[in-house]
Amino acid sequence: MDWCLRYVDRLTGIQEGTRDTYRGEILRHLSLMRHTLFDGTELPATIGNITADDVQDWVRAETQGERDPNNPGTWLRRKAAPKSIQNRHGLMWCIVQAGVDAGLRTTNCCKNTKLPRLDAGTREEMVFLEENEWLRLRAEITNPRGRDLADWLVGTGMRRCEAAALQVGDIGLRRGTANVQRAWKKSKEEGWHLGPPKTRMARRLVPLSPSLQQLARRLMAGKKPGELLFQTRHGNQWNSGTFYNRVWTPALDRAAARACRNAPACTTCGTLSPRG
């Protein structure tokens, strides 16, 4: 693990929040790597001794998870999603390649790893709402300021951290655009703070529909150019936890409960089933 952390600590061109994320992935997941000898003896993994078999064993461990032997109904480590495994393997590949470049090994043992398919699971990685579904969900958002932000996210496709970082001066009502130049970030040292968007391509002008222009004009009234366009009731920024826990999740729960109350009883088992 020393080499892994050394690699991440010396990376340049990344934000501190990203560095913290990499360190967390190393400590929680890459640290599970073990080097297994032919006789089955397990040794601590190092940059010099890990093999392709060790990497494949790690992938299997991530895929299967680990149950508590004293309580089979609980997990010591839950199964990882295929996308998460691919991302962690990509980080490992870079770390091992740095070892190759430094002359600590001759080949990259992550080169031909067989990874789980992204479409192997039954759960969708991303869900897109139909218009009628969104309108039903929107009706359950009781926080008016949260509803404004949700309308903006749906209407523009912007990331929440980008939309919540918009300032009044970023809105061009004449052109009907929003200028994305910053996003909310979180790091151990600074907490929540404003920084550049996720990628260079994320700096962009987002076109605004007439309804979004009207929304922006209402939110801009009485504010200075440097003030946040979207604010909570107390004038604070919308961070991911606040929006998710106080706006989005409660609305989902209420919409699901209403759908169950309005659904007809299943003629086969007598339970409630959704229409259509």
pLDDT of 126 reads 60
Amino acid at 24: G
pLDDT of 275 reads 34
Instruction: Look up residue 59 and give its two tokens.
Output: 């992938």
In degrees and rounded to multiples of 5, residue 83 shows phi and psi of: -65, -40
The label of the residue with tokens 């339970």 reads 271
Reported as a single tens digit per residue, the pLDDT across 199-256 is 888 899 999 999 999 999 999 999 999 999 999 988 899 987 888 888 999 998 998 8
Contacts for 85 with CB less than 8 Å, ≥ 6 apart: 59, 62, 63, 115, 116
Amino acid at 165: A
pLDDT of 107 reads 95
CATH code of the region 131-262: 1.10.443.10
Give the range among 5-19, 54-68, 147-161 with minimum mean pLDDT. 5-19
In angstroms, the CA 23 to CA 161 distance is 22
- List C-alpha distances in Å: 74 to 28, 60, 65, 121, 183: 18, 19, 11, 21, 37
Is the Cα torsion angle 168, 169, 174, 179 positive or negative in sign? negative
- List C-alpha distances in Å: 228 to 96, 162, 199, 235: 43, 11, 21, 9
Instruction: Look up residue 269 and give its two tokens.
Output: 């088992």
What are the domain boundaries of the chain? 2-101, 131-262
Contact 113, 89 (CB under 8 A): yes
Instruction: Look up residue 121 and give its two tokens.
Output: 């699971």
**Percentage of residues of the chain with pLDDT beyond 70:** 91
In angstroms, the CA 61 to CA 77 distance is 10
Average pLDDT over every residue of 60-86: 88
Give exposure, 19-45, as e/b (b: 16+ Cβ within 10 Å): eebbeebbeebbeebebeeeeeeeeeb
